[in-house]
Amino acid sequence: MLNEKFWLFNTDSSSLLRPYSSTLPQLRYVYKPNNQVKSNNQVKSNKPVDVGYEFSAIGLSCRDRLDGVATAPWNPPLSLRLIPFESNRNSFTATQVSDLLDNKDLPFKDSLCINTLDSHYATPEYIVGTAGQEKLVNIIRMRSNRNVWRKLNPAQQKTRRAQRPNKQGADAIYGQAYQLNQVDQWELPPDEQTAFCFRLSNGRKALVEIEKYAQMMIRTKRGKSMKDKPFDLVSIRLSDAQSGKAIFKKCLWLGIWGKERKQLTLNETFWAYRNRFDLEHFFRFGKQRLLL
């Protein structure tokens, strides 16, 4: 738990490689980087795939301090489930998250919960699947090549309707489209911004610049309606505090969904997502030491 304000979860999926177990049921191709052929059951190429299963994990962030620099990346798992064969990974994870939050034997039921996820969860399947959780806020990384839309306010919707010849039909919801990789060309001022310095683990002092654009939208896809699910879009830039040179070439884009998202400050959003990588430490430790 980052502080007394909310519980912090980290959610992701990982592969369980079983290249030598050819008789196991429902084996499939799963991701594996730098594949090296070692058995007859493996993929005969150096493509980043292998044979096995995929599982979904929800971990609890247990860093003591808000920034987490001086504490160990302790991230015990709360839920581990194998993703069924041919099921949608994001819909399955949405059900897994909801089951965890609905468990009355756990302390999360009526508490503010923050869930941080990687970019492949920024889909209608996951967002719609968890939209019914009143106290859940999802912080999901957005790929820099995506498009987002500004939600029209009531006055803009009225103007748009007046421009129609017959003034009929539903009110328009989607306004101007914006490409994340062309943020320097936007004519859209941020609704909120902040900047602060902190020290990285290597001792380097970094300047963090954060901007938030409220009431953004993504498109409805595959029958999952996103018209009533606006989100806050956050950009994060890190640069060297002394030289001003950017530490990363691209800024980090985060989408924040949930009815309680306004309770998060920009600083809390940054620190919460920064701790998401703790789940990767669990994957490594679990597979190497716990026979996962």
Measured in degrees and rounded to the nearest 5, phi and psi for residue 84 equal: -60, 155
The answer to whether 186 and 178 are in contact (CB under 8 A) is yes
The answer to whether 183 and 235 are in contact (CB under 8 A) is yes
In a domain, 90, yes or no: yes
Q: For 19-53, how does the pLDDT look when each residue is reduced to its tens digit (9 = 90+)?
A: 888 899 989 888 887 655 555 555 566 678 889 99
In a domain, 158, yes or no: yes
- DSSP result, 79-103: EEEEPPTT--HHHHHHHHHHHHHT-
In a domain, 118, yes or no: yes
Number of domains in the chain: 1
**Domain CATH for 32:** 3.90.350
Q: For 53-100, how does the pLDDT look when each residue is reduced to its tens digit (9 = 90+)?
A: 999 999 999 876 555 456 777 889 999 999 998 899 999 999 999 999
Domain that holds residue 78: 7-289
In a domain, 2, yes or no: no
In a domain, 30, yes or no: yes
In a domain, 15, yes or no: yes
Q: For 252-279, how does the pLDDT look when each residue is reduced to its tens digit (9 = 90+)?
A: 999 999 999 999 999 999 999 999 999 9
In a domain, 104, yes or no: yes
In a domain, 1, yes or no: no
Task: State how beta strands 49-60 and 7-17 pair.
Answer: antiparallel
The answer to whether 127 and 192 are in contact (CB under 8 A) is no
| pLDDT interval class at 1 (50, 70, 90) | very low
Dist CA 262 CA 130 (whole Å)? 17
- How far is C-alpha 31 from the geometric centre of its chain's CA atoms? 19
pTM for the model stands at: 0.91
Q: For 132-175, how does the pLDDT look when each residue is reduced to its tens digit (9 = 90+)?
A: 999 999 999 999 999 999 999 989 888 888 888 777 777 889 99
